[in-house]
Amino acid sequence: MSELNQIALKILENGKGILAADESTGTMTKRLQSVGVESSPENRVLFRETLFSSNCMRECIGGVILYDETIKQKSKTGKNIPDMLLEVGSYPGIKVDTGAKQLAGSKNEKITEGLDSLRERLKEYSKLGAKFTKWRGVYNITKDYPSKLSIYSNAHALARYASLVQENNLVPIVEPEVLMDGEHSADECFSKTSEVLKRCFEELIFHKVDLSGIILKPNMILAGASSKNQISNEDTAKLTVKCLKENVPSEVPGIAFLSGGQTETQATENLNLINKFNDTNFIMSYSYGRALQQSALKYWAKDTKDTNGTQKIFDHRAKMCSLATQGKWSKNLENI
Please say whether the beta carbons of 132 and 173 come within 8 A. Answer: yes
pLDDT bin (cut points 50, 70, 90) of residue 1 is confident
Is the predicted pLDDT of residue 61 greater than 90, yes or no? yes
Instruction: Look at residue 336 in the predicted model and tell me its pLDDT.
Output: 62
141 in a domain, yes or no?
yes
23 in a domain, yes or no?
yes
Give mean pLDDT, residues 226-242.
Answer: 96
336 in a domain, yes or no?
no
Instruction: Provide CB contacts within 8 A for 187, sequence distance 6+.
Output: none
Instruction: Look at residue 77 in the predicted model and tell me its pLDDT.
Output: 86
CATH of the domain at 98: 3.20.20.70
Q: Per residue in 190-230, pLDDT tens?
A: 999 999 999 999 999 999 999 999 999 999 999 999 999 99
335 in a domain, yes or no?
no
Instruction: Look at residue 81 in the predicted model and tell me its pLDDT.
Output: 97
49 in a domain, yes or no?
yes
Predicted TM-score of the model (pTM): 0.97
Chain mean position to CA 39: 23
Is the predicted pLDDT of residue 83 greater than 80, yes or no? yes
161 in a domain, yes or no?
yes
Average pLDDT, the chain: 96
| Percent of the chain topping pLDDT 70 | 100
- How many domains does one find in the chain? 1
164 in a domain, yes or no?
yes
Q: Half-sphere exposure of residue 22, counting CA atoms within 13 Å on the CB side?
A: 26
Give the domain range for residue 324. Answer: 3-329
Give mean pLDDT, residues 19-34.
Answer: 94
Q: Alpha-carbon distance 178 to 191, whole Å?
A: 11
Q: Alpha-carbon distance 281 to 149, whole Å?
A: 32
> Does the CA dihedral 41-305-307-301 come out positive or negative?
negative
Instruction: Look at residue 212 in the predicted model and tell me its pLDDT.
Output: 98
Give mean pLDDT, residues 259-282.
Answer: 96
Three state DSSP letters for the chain: CCHHHHHHHHHHHHHCEEEECCCCHHHHHHHHHHCCCCCCHHHHHHHHHHHHCCCHHHHHEEEEEECHHHHCCECCCCCEHHHHHHHCCCEEEEECCCCEEEECCEEEEEEECCCCCHHHHHHHHHHHCCCEEEEEEEECCCCCCCCHHHHHHHHHHHHHHHHHHHHCCCEEEEEEEECCCCCCCHHHHHHHHHHHHHHHHHHHHHCCCCHHHCEECCCCCCCCCCCCCCCCHHHHHHHHHHHHHHHCCCCCCEEEECCCCCCHHHHHHHHHHHHHHCCCCCEEEEEECHHHHHHHHHHHHHCCCCHHHHHHHHHHHHHHHHHHHCCCCCHHHHCC
Q: Alpha-carbon distance 23 to 235, whole Å?
A: 31
Give mean pLDDT, residues 30-46.
Answer: 93
pLDDT bin (cut points 50, 70, 90) of residue 76 is confident
Instruction: Look at residue 259 in the predicted model and tell me its pLDDT.
Output: 95
Is the predicted pLDDT of residue 103 greater than 80, yes or no? yes
334 in a domain, yes or no?
no
Is the predicted pLDDT of residue 330 greater than 70, yes or no? yes
Is the predicted pLDDT of residue 335 greater than 90, yes or no? no
Q: Which positions are catalytic?
A: 217
Is the predicted pLDDT of residue 277 greater than 90, yes or no? yes
To 10 degrees, what angle do helices 41-52 and 25-34 make? 80
